[in-house]
Amino acid sequence: MRIRVRRTGGFAGIERSAEVEVSGPEWESLSSTVLADGGDDGDGRGVPDGFSYEITVDGRTVHCRDPRLTDAQRTLITRVLEEGA
């Protein structure tokens, strides 16, 4: 399974992205939860200088923003940005 996370925004506006190729039940469960949770409601509102995320799992993409991340989204984002660096 290929997972890509793209983070934009923040105070400096620096984009960061990472991509990993992973397998295993833990990754599958976490990815399924993130996709099932979906993204933000599309209202375009976040917090000033907050981050926006694009999470793509095998071609399916969700968008989310701080501070409205689910626990699963936050966990997946952290793991991919750390392991894909």
- Secondary structure (DSSP) of 27-59: HHHHHHHHHHH----S-----TT-EEEEEEETT
pTM of the model: 0.88
Q: List pLDDT tens digits, range 32-81.
A: 999 998 876 555 567 778 899 999 999 999 999 988 899 999 999 999 99
pLDDT in tens, 14-24: 899 999 999 99
Q: How confident is the model at residue 84 (pLDDT cuts 50, 70, 90)?
A: confident
